[in-house]
């Protein structure tokens, strides 16, 4: 009650946010008449002046970056609106100005469908582009990126800003005028699409200046260099491409290969809920070839086809996992002729069998993927679109390929990865827009620190959302859907039917062609009654209905199908879905981002008219032809619009509830745009996945209790509540998964930032000499910890305790130093140098005390007496004295090792010269960093695979992952520092010869012949490294012998990948009784295979992999891997680590 009263008096938080922005809207509107009086040239000049002012004022740029509502924003927004009026004939409404300011502040603007989000984004995009720091506009697919850039490009080009577009097919575009001469002419003659002196909110089609509209046409011009798009002030592209370009930039081997040259300043994410929430479970991964033999999946497939569901294996459909029963394990062992399926040597085989079970029973053709041209293509479950070039990871894609009988491509391993959450948190300022965000406001705030502001609609929403119709079976549900579509078609009302899969999409399409079913529906009493009512209500022509019926009973109901198989025509189909008699069937989110205009879109229709006249490219049509076509299209769509409105507007039918209420609301939002009439209804069944898996029992019991027949639906608040609760449970589960993914990736994010920052410094030419000297300090420190442990002083107090005849006891440390540097050293005990230093010590004491200390010859003074002399001088002077030829303690030992490394390094630098040495440093260090980082990522992947088994031991998997991942990263850094020094100390004597560019390993498919159950396929021969770099990755580095062992303060970690021989840390050997025995003991690195127990398939999201494209291994892959990793919702503070 109190909250309600407070809201009533001062308004809600959202209302207060809007209220603050209204005065700025009034100021922008006040400038409109002034700008309208200016010529095109003068408006352009004002824009360029503002550009220069902001670009050259660092403080102003910083304030704009922070999202402050600076005074310059008023002029900036007013200029954008003026440019939109003159080039597109579109004027930003007041609520759109508010939306633009919310985006500029770095918040999420929730705007209903049809409120013009694309136009809204042009305001903050152009204004922030004036800083010249780069603005990224993120869309959900390539088509929308191209469309929006080309459409809004006219505004930006008019203001003097450049626009680029990046696409997933590796194509890059710049937005240019179609005819620059016409543009100059239009500017000179002050031609405008929006009439001068007209200040209405909207422009009717008849008021448009067609000559000006054609003059300001833009086009996309392909350019060869991707960085050109990023050099523009504004860049449009998809979320995945921005993410992959970031990863590819951090795999570049030269600064010239980096494309995101302006960094991550400001991003505006269109359909922000789809990108930051729906796809947040799918990390971006760039992957390369793995060495796992794909023929193992043929064996797994043959086994799985002989297993019985529920008897041999069980499925968890909620989490998309499968596991074998005890009976199933025995059957598999019998089929394969093996004793123990869970033997460590059978780990890869077991994994392949579990993935094959998932492929056969949880991933379905036409739902999760399609097969086209002998290739398995993933279908995005949220949008229904095909994801070309992407592959599921962890062997799932190979299992599906075997199932479908297509060529099996080798499995890949991770080369670079990042989640969408951590990628978008790179931006200094992030904003987004969508029609449905408020329900996810808590997640947006918690994960991205983004506030959600609901923007009021320009006109009240008058759409009718009818209650759900729930049927007992799918059969009755589909019959009802067909009945609704049939009735709508006969009266001419446009209808849009949303399905959740391609399979449902094509099923409904076939039902609309089923003449027997259509006749049965038409002859039913209920249908005749409803048709008669509608005839009278809308005064429909009997002749027109009979004409349609003849067509229906001959060919079926005419309709357009929009799914992953027809995505090329997506925008065109959706744009015309509001025309009279239109029937459109679309998968889930297909067509999102394209407005459905009642009566149709006149520009699309004009293009169709021109195509019929023989103009394949309408933009090349003569001006008169374009004008005639547009006028004809405007006349047709205007008449149809009024008729559709009279029929009740667009009718949207949902055929299944989505796991998220937000997606359902988005489907509803396709109807009733900008105050138009409309109607929506969900027609569902108890056999639908959501209800079946998450709450169908209660509803089914209710229907049994009421004794309702199958063909009679139930409309009940209890049913609606049960469905809503089911959706809430799924939403909560998915939220926890996304949080766990973030927790897990935050661990890697710390490591990734350390490596990528250092890598960028290398590419930018940072002087590595100081860093190399730091490496020497660190490596020397590790040498001392390893070979001169604090608890065994007899090993490091060498000069103090060991006479010369026992110096072989120090040989091991000297040997390891030789392995590192390639040069032999002797721990100092050189007689002549020692005698000189003793004499100097005696002289110094004589100077300080005025009396001789000892007359014994220096060579007869033992080390203990020398140290006494040193201590005496230190006591007299208060200064610390270092005697180079006497190692007194671990500190002296470290100092000596560092001095020797520097000495060796100086010799190398003199040999090659400073300039060349810097290049050698950069080349070798970069190559080693990349090779070891890839191996580290591989180890982290394997760690993730088994980490959840720790839960059975009552240990928190995420905490365990964080601890072990940190230890692994410490080992990675230590090994990298050692390997860098090792390579630099051993660099050859022919430094001028260029290193060969690494070539990609060709993808090959094993030639698998007839496989018999009980016989494993022959292992493919081990591929030989084709380059020096690949060889470095395949053979263990000398560093592993040192750093992959237990160190002080670092516990043993076993990150070994399954089925792959990996260097692991050597367990500490039992301590021998005698020192001589211990020193004589061999200390060689061991290679072992980790012992693995049972394997559990983790719940996964569709993952996506990409192979490196032609060229070197660092060149751009077509796509990346996306994988869902279930993780615990816990967060810990990471220790500070770095290079």
DSSP class per residue in 883-922? -TT---SHHHHHHHHHHHHHHHHHHHHHHH-HHHHHHHHH
With tokens 């918040």, the residue in question is 107
- Phi, psi for residue 286 in degrees, rounded to 5: -95, 125
Domain 2-281+423-454 matches domain 467-597+649-738 at the CATH topology level = yes
Is 1101 a residue whose pLDDT tops 70?
no
- Quickly name the fold that domain 467-597+649-738 has: Rossmann fold (3.40.50)
> By C-alpha distance, which of 407, 411, 409, 382 is closest to 395?
411
Distance of CA 185 to CAs 62, 201, 893, Å?
A: 38, 27, 80
Number of Cβ atoms within 10 Å of the Cβ of 797: 18
**C-beta separation of 68 from 18 below 8 A:** no
E strands, 52-100, in order: none
- Residue 1005 token pair: 């498919």
Q: Do 306 and 162 contact (CB within 8 A), yes or no?
A: no
Q: Is pLDDT of 840 > 70? A: no
How many whole angstroms separate alpha carbon 326 and alpha carbon 333? 11
For 331, other C-beta atoms within 10 Å of its C-beta total 20
d(CA 540, CA 530): 13
- CA-nearest of 783, 780, 842, 834 to 804 is 834
| Alpha-carbon span 355 to 377, nearest angstrom | 17
Give per-residue pLDDT as tens, 481-523.
999 999 999 999 999 999 888 788 889 999 999 999 999 999 9
CA distances, 199 to each of 35, 55, 73, 769 (Å): 12, 32, 21, 66
Burial track 333-362 (b if 16+ CB lie within 10 A, e otherwise)? beebeeeebeeeebbbbbbbbbbbbbbbbb
Per the CB < 8 A criterion, the answer to whether 586 and 612 are in contact is no
Instruction: Please report where in the chains the tokens 């759409």 appear, as a residue.
Output: 463
Report whether pLDDT(907) > 60. Answer: yes
pLDDT score for 552:
92
Contacts of 718 (CB under 8 A, 6+ apart): 698, 699, 702
Distance CA 600, CA 640 (A): 8
Cα 890 from Cα 886, distance rounded (Å): 12
What's the whole-number average pLDDT of the chain?
A: 77
Strand order in the sheet with 135-139: 218-223, 172-177, 163-166, 234-238, 135-139, 266-270, 429-434, 108-110, 452-454
Closest CA to 487 of 423, 537, 414: 537
Looking at 98-107, 232-241, 817-826, 1004-1013, which range is the least confident one? 1004-1013
Alpha carbons 1038 and 497: distance in angstroms, whole number: 64
Q: What is the pLDDT of residues 174-194, one digit of tens each?
A: 999 999 999 999 999 999 999
Q: How many CB atoms lie within 10 A of CB 479?
A: 19
Percent share of the chain, pLDDT over 70: 72
Looking at residues 290-300, what average pLDDT do you find? 81
- Residue 108: pLDDT over 90: yes
The pLDDT of residue 79: 97
Pairing of strands 650-654, 495-499: parallel
> What is the enclosing helix (H) or strand (E) of 413?
strand 412-418
Helix axes 117-129, 142-158, angle to 10 degrees: 60
Residues 983-1001: tens digit of each pLDDT:
888 776 443 444 444 443 3
Question: In whole angstroms, what is the distance from residue 685 CA to residue 675 CA?
Answer: 31
| Alpha-helix runs per DSSP H in 362-462 | 396-404, 420-424, 441-448
Looking at the DSSP bridge assignments, the partners of residue 377 are 370
Q: Looking up tokens 């019926």, which residue turns up? A: 549
Cβ 393 vs Cβ 361: under 8 Å? no
pLDDT surpasses 80 at 655: yes
Strand partners, 376: 371
Q: Roughly what angle, to the nearest 10 degrees, separates helices 769-787 and 957-985?
A: 110
pLDDT at residue 1054, rounded to an integer: 33
Q: Which pLDDT value is given to residue 573? A: 78
Amino acid 332: pLDDT: 92
Q: Using CA atoms, how far apart are residues 300 and 357, in angstroms rounded to an integer?
A: 9
Query: May I ask the CATH class of domain 310-413?
Result: alpha beta
φ, ψ (nearest 5 deg) of residue 960: -60, -40
Question: Is-contact 92 84, C-beta < 8 A?
Answer: yes
Question: Residue 884's pLDDT band (boundaries 50, 70, 90)?
Answer: low
Segment 340-363, tens digit of pLDDT: 888 777 878 888 899 999 999 999
With cut-offs at 50, 70 and 90, classify the pLDDT of residue 746.
confident
Q: What was the pLDDT predicted at 946? A: 73
Alpha carbon 1047 to its chain's center: 36
* Alpha carbon distance 70, 72 (integer Å): 5
Rounded to the nearest 10 degrees, the angle between the axes of helix 542-555 and helix 474-491 is 140
What pLDDT is recorded for position 621?
74
Helices (H), strands (E): how many in the chain? 44, 26
**Nearest alpha-carbon partner for 677 in 463, 431, 976:** 463
Write out the two tokens for 745: 């990736």
Lowest mean pLDDT among 149-163, 604-618, 850-864: 850-864
**What's the Cα-to-Cα distance from 1006 to each of 65, 129, 1015, rounded to whole Å?**
54, 52, 16
Tokens in use for 935?
Answer: 């191996």
Question: Is the pLDDT score of 705 beyond 70?
Answer: no
Mean pLDDT of 925-951: 83
- What CATH class does 2-281+423-454 carry? alpha beta
Q: How far is 893 from 849, CA to CA, in rounded Å?
A: 30
For range 756-785, the mean pLDDT: 86
Average pLDDT over residues 220-249: 94
Q: Domain 756-769+913-992+1026-1122 adopts which CATH fold?
A: Helical scaffold and wing domains of SecA (1.10.3060)
- 1063 pLDDT band, cuts 50/70/90, is very low
Tokens in use for 682? Answer: 């969900």
Judged by DSSP in three states, 168 sits in coil
Mean local confidence (pLDDT), 963-978: 92
Q: 283 and 299 in contact (C-beta within 8 Å)?
A: no
- Band (pLDDT 50/70/90 cuts) for residue 940 is confident
User: Element (H or E) spanning 549, and its range?
Assistant: helix 542-555
DSSP character string of 107-133: -EEE--TTS-HHHHHHHHHHHHHTTTS
Instruction: Give all strands of the β-sheet with 369-372 in edge-to-edge order.
Output: 369-372, 375-379, 386-387
The answer to whether residue 1011 scores a pLDDT higher than 60 is: no
The pLDDT of residue 839 is 64
Query: What's residue 393's pLDDT?
Result: 76
The helix/strand/coil state of 153 is helix
- Dihedral sign of CA atoms 199, 205, 207, 211 in order: positive
CB atoms within 10 A of CB 1049: 8
Contact call for residues 979 and 1035 (beta carbons, < 8 A): no
- What is residue 1019's three-state secondary structure? coil
Selection from 384, 198, 371, 391 nearest residue 294 by Cα: 391
% of the chain surpassing 90 pLDDT: 33
Question: Distance (Å, rounded) from C-alpha 33 to C-alpha 52?
Answer: 24
CA atoms of 279 and 318, how far apart (whole Å): 18
pTM: 0.72
The average pLDDT across 1015-1028 equals 36
How far apart are the two ends of the chain, measured CA to CA in Å?
A: 58
Please report how the helices 474-491 and 525-538 are oriented relative to each other, as an axis angle in degrees rounded to 10: 30
Beta-carbon-side half-sphere exposure of residue 31 (alpha carbons within 13 Å): 19
Q: Where are the domains of the chain?
A: 2-281+423-454, 310-413, 467-597+649-738, 599-642, 756-769+913-992+1026-1122, 781-911
3-state SS assignment for residue 465: strand
Least confidently predicted of 381-395, 571-585, 1058-1072: 1058-1072
Please, where are the H alpha helices in 986-1093? 1028-1034, 1038-1043, 1075-1080
Q: What's phi and psi for 1073, nearest 5 deg?
A: -70, -40
Question: Which of 105-109, 262-266, 432-436, 859-863 is the least confident region?
Answer: 859-863
């Amino acid at each position: 009650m109190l909250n309600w009263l407070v809201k009533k008096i001062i308004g809600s938080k959202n209302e207060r946010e809007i209220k603050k922005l209204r005065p700025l809207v009034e100021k922008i509107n006040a400038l409109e008449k002034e700008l309208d009086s200016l010529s095109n040239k003068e408006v352009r000049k004002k824009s360029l002046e503002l550009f220069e002012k902001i670009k050259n004022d660092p403080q102003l740029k910083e304030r704009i970056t922070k999202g402050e509502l600076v005074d310059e924003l008023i002029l900036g927004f007013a200029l954008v609106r003026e440019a939109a009026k003159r080039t597109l004939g579109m004027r930003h409404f007041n609520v759109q100005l508010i939306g633009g300011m919310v985006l500029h502040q770095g918040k999420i603007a929730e705007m209903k469908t049809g409120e013009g989000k694309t136009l809204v984004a042009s305001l903050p995009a152009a204004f922030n582009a004036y800083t010249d720091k780069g603005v990224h506009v993120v869309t959900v697919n390539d088509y929308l990126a191209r469309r929006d850039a080309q459409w809004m490009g006219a505004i930006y080009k008019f203001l003097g800003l450049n626009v680029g577009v990046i696409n997933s097919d590796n194509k890059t575009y710049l937005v240019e005028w179609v005819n620059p001469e016409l543009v100059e002419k239009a500017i000179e003659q002050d031609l405008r699409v929006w009439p001068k002196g007209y200040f209405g909110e909207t422009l009717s089609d008849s008021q448009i200046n067609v000559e000006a509209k054609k003059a300001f046409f833009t086009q996309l011009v392909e350019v060869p260099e991707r960085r050109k798009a990023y050099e523009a002030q504004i860049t449009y592209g998809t979320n995945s491409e921005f993410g992959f370009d970031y990863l590819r930039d951090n795999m570049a081997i030269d600064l010239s290969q980096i494309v995101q040259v302006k960094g991550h300043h400001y991003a505006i994410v269109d359909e922000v809920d789809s990108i930051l929430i729906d796809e947040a479970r799918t990390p971006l991964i760039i992957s390369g070839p793995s060495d796992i033999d794909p023929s193992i999946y043929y064996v797994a497939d043959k086994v799985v086809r002989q297993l019985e569901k529920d008897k041999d294996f069980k499925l968890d459909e909620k989490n998309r996992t499968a596991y074998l029963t005890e009976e199933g394990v025995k059957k598999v062992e019998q089929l394969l002729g093996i004793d123990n399926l869970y033997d460590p040597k059978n780990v890869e085989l077991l994994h392949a069998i579990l993935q094959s079970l998932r492929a056969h029973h949880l991933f379905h053709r036409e739902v999760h993927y399609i097969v086209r041209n002998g290739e398995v293509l993933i279908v995005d479950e949220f949008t229904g679109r095909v994801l070309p070039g992407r592959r599921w990871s962890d062997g799932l894609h190979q299992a599906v390929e075997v199932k479908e009988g297509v060529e099996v491509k080798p499995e890949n391993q991770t080369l670079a990865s990042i989640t969408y959450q951590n990628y978008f948190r790179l931006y200094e300022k992030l904003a987004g827009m969508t029609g449905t965000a408020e329900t996810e406001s808590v997640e947006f705030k918690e994960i991205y620190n983004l506030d959600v502001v609901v923007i009021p609609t320009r006109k009240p929403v008058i759409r009718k959302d009818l209650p759900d119709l729930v049927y007992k079976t799918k059969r009755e549900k589909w019959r009802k859907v067909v009945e609704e579509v049939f009735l709508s078609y006969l009266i001419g009302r446009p209808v849009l039917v949303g399905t959740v899969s391609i399979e449902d999409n094509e099923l409904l399409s076939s039902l609309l062609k089923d003449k027997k079913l259509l006749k049965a529906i038409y002859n039913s009493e209920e249908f005749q009654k409803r048709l008669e009512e509608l005839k009278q209500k809308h005064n429909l022509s009997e002749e027109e209905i009979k004409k349609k019926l003849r067509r229906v009973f001959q060919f079926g109901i005419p309709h357009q199908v929009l799914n992953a198989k027809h995505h090329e025509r997506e925008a065109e189909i959706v744009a015309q879905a509001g025309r009279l008699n239109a029937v459109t069937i679309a998968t889930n989110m297909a067509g999102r981002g394209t407005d459905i205009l009642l009566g149709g879109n006149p520009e699309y229709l004009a293009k169709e008219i021109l195509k019929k006249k023989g103009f394949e490219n309408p933009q090349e049509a003569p001006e008169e032809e374009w004008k005639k076509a547009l006028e004809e299209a405007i006349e047709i769509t205007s008449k149809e619009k009024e008729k559709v409105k009279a029929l009740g507007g667009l009718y949207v039918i949902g055929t299944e509830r989505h796991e998220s209420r937000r997606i359902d609301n988005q489907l509803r939002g396709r109807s009733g745009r900008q105050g138009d009439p409309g109607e929506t209804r969900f027609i569902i069944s108890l056999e639908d996945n959501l209800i079946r898996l998450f709450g169908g029992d209660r509803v089914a019991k209710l229907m049994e209790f009421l004794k309702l027949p199958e063909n009679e639906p139930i409309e009940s608040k209890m049913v609606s509540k049960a469905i809503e609760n089911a959706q809430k449970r799924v939403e909560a589960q998915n939220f926890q998964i996304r949080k766990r993914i973030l927790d897990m990736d935050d661990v890697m994010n710390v490591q990734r930032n350390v490596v990528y920052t250092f890598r960028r410094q290398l590419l930018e030419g940072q002087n590595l000499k100081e860093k190399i000297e730091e490496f020497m300090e660190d490596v020397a420190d590790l040498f001392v910890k390893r070979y001169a442990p604090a608890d065994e002083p007899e090993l490091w107090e060498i000069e103090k305790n060991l006479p010369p005849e026992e110096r072989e006891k120090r040989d091991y440390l000297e040997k390891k130093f030789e392995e590192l540097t390639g040069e032999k050293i002797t721990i100092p005990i050189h007689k002549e140098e020692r005698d000189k230093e003793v004499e100097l010590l005696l002289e110094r004491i004589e100077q300080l005390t005025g009396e001789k200390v000892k007359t014994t010859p220096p060579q007869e003074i033992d080390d203990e007496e020398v140290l006494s002399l040193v201590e005496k001088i230190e006591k007299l002077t208060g200064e610390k004295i270092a005697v180079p030829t006497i190692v007194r303690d671990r500190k002296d030992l470290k100092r000596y090792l560092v001095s020797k490394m520097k000495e060796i390094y100086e010799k190398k630098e003199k040999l090659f010269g400073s300039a060349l040495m810097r290049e050698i440093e950069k080349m070798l260090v970069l190559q080693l960093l990349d090779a070891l980082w890839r191996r580290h990522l591989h180890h982290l992947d394997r760690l993730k695979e088994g980490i959840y088994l720790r839960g059975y031991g009552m240990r928190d998997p995420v905490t365990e992952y964080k601890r072990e991942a940190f230890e692994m990263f410490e080992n990675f850094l230590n090994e990298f520092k050692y390997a860098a020094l090792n390579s630099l100390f051993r660099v050859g004597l022919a430094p001028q010869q260029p290193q060969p560019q690494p070539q990609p390993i060709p993808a090959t498919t094993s030639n698998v012949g007839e496989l018999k159950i009980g016989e494993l396929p022959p292992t493919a021969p081990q591929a030989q490294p084709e380059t020096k770099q690949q060889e470095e990755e395949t053979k263990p580095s000398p560093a592993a012998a040192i750093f992959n062992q237990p160190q002080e303060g670092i516990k043993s970690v076993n990150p070994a990948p399954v089925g792959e021989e990996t260097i692991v840390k050597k367990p500490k050997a039992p301590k021998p009784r005698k020192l001589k025995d211990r020193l004589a003991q061999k200390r060689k690195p061991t290679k072992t295979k980790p012992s693995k127990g049972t394997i559990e398939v983790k719940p996964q999201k569709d993952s996506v992999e990409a192979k490196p494209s032609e060229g070197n291994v660092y060149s751009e892959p077509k796509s990346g891997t996306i994988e869902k990793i279930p993780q615990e919702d816990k967060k810990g503070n990471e220790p500070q680590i770095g290079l």
